[in-house]
């Protein structure tokens, strides 16, 4: 299969690089500045699981349909990304979004048609340093996708066969929407609390009311997920609680790290969308409300500073 990857940052660059190094037919759709760096230095991954440096094929504009498009952009870039990949979407092209949250599914369905859009998610700690190198921050590299409707099953299985050589053990899930909601529930809590408290999980747990407030935020997200028909399964619940209440943990959400470097964040797509769904369902969500206001105030200040 011919696979086009939008973006060569932490997610797209990491998984795309692993696929390319395994001989999978991969091409990266990137901005001209990123294309120049990749042409000069190759794609560089520094990882506890093995470093990689190799030349990769890039393009700055899509020109013809491919078999699959992997979207690995930030949520706030999705509108621009959809326009960029539109020429690559043919009658049988699969679109695999690896964005946080779930709102992207509705947006992609409206733009390209539901039959094209698979569900997908990843769990990985990765970033790009000033030299353009991808830094894999731990050994986590979970890559999960699957069909959202029965008619997509055969095509999803073909894509799974194509990406299996990548070395990161992809998972083809028969319940991908449930899995996406489980990640969304966890992430809204994780990002909401670490940005609100300006601290990692371990530090929050040292506060007198830290664990209680963390659990209250999680309860708001759980109630919202349940109202939408996607209450997390027991195993997922146990993992969430363990991660969100781990004593001594240095863990922070990528939203917190974006905030720490005064960067743009996905707060509307994650925290804002969860709050909107809570309101629609009539679920009280005072901590989500506070967390979103915190991030909106941050964004207003960041934008004003940048403009000045």
Residues marked active site are found at: 183
Distance, CA of 217 to CA of 287 (rounded, Å): 6
List b or e across 223-252, with b for residues whose CB sees 16 or more CB atoms inside 10 angstroms: bbbeebebbbeeebbeebbeebbeeebeeb
Asked if 35 contacts 58 with a C-beta cutoff of 8 angstroms, the reply is yes
Q: Which residues contact 109 (CB under 8 A, 6 or more apart)?
A: 117
Q: Is 257 exposed, middle or buried (0-12, 13-18, 19+ CB in 10 A)?
A: middle
Asked if 217 contacts 287 with a C-beta cutoff of 8 angstroms, the reply is yes
Length of the chain measured in residues: 308
Distance, CA of 134 to CA of 59 (rounded, Å): 19
Q: Which two tokens stand for residue 151?
A: 């008619």
Beta strands in the chain (DSSP E): 3-6, 26-29, 43-46, 52-54, 58-59, 68-71, 94-97, 119-128, 134-146, 171-172
Residue 131 is inside which H or E element, if any?
A: none
């Amino acid at each position: 299969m011919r696979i086009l990857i939008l973006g060569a940052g932490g997610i797209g660059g990491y998984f795309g690089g692993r696929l390319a190094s395994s001989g999978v037919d991969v091409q990266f759709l990137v901005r001209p500045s990123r294309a120049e760096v990749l042409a000069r230095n190759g794609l560089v991954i520094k990882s506890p699981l093995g470093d990689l440096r190799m030349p990769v094929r890039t393009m700055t504009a899509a020109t013809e349909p491919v078999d699959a498009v992997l979207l690995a952009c930030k949520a706030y870039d999705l509108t621009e990304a959809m326009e960029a990949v539109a020429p690559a979407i043919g009658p049988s092209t699969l679109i695999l979004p690896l964005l946080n949250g779930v709102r992207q599914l509705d947006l992609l369905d409206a733009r390209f048609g539901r039959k094209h859009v698979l569900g997908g998610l990843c769990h990985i700690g990765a970033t790009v340093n000033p030299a353009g190198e991808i830094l894999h921050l731990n050994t986590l590299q979970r890559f999960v996708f699957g069909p959202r409707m029965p008619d997509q099953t055969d095509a999803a299985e073909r894509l799974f066969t194509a990406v299996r050589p990548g070395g990161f053990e992809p998972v083809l899930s028969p319940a991908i929407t449930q899995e996406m909601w489980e990640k969304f529930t966890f992430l809204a809590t994780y990002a909401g609390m670490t940005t609100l408290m300006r601290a990692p999980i371990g530090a929050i747990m040292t506060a007198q009311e830290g664990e209680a407030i963390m659990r209250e935020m999680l309860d708001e997200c759980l109630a919202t997920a349940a109202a939408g028909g996607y209450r997390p399964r027991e195993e997922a619940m146990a993992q969430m609680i363990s991660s969100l209440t781990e004593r001594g943990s240095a863990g922070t959400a990528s939203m917190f790290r974006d905030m720490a470097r005064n960067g743009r964040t996905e707060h509307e797509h994650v925290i804002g969308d969860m709050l909107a769904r809570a309101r629609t369902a009539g679920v009280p969500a005072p901590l989500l409300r506070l967390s979103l206001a915190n991030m909106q105030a941050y964004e207003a200040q960041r934008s004003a500073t940048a403009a000045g």
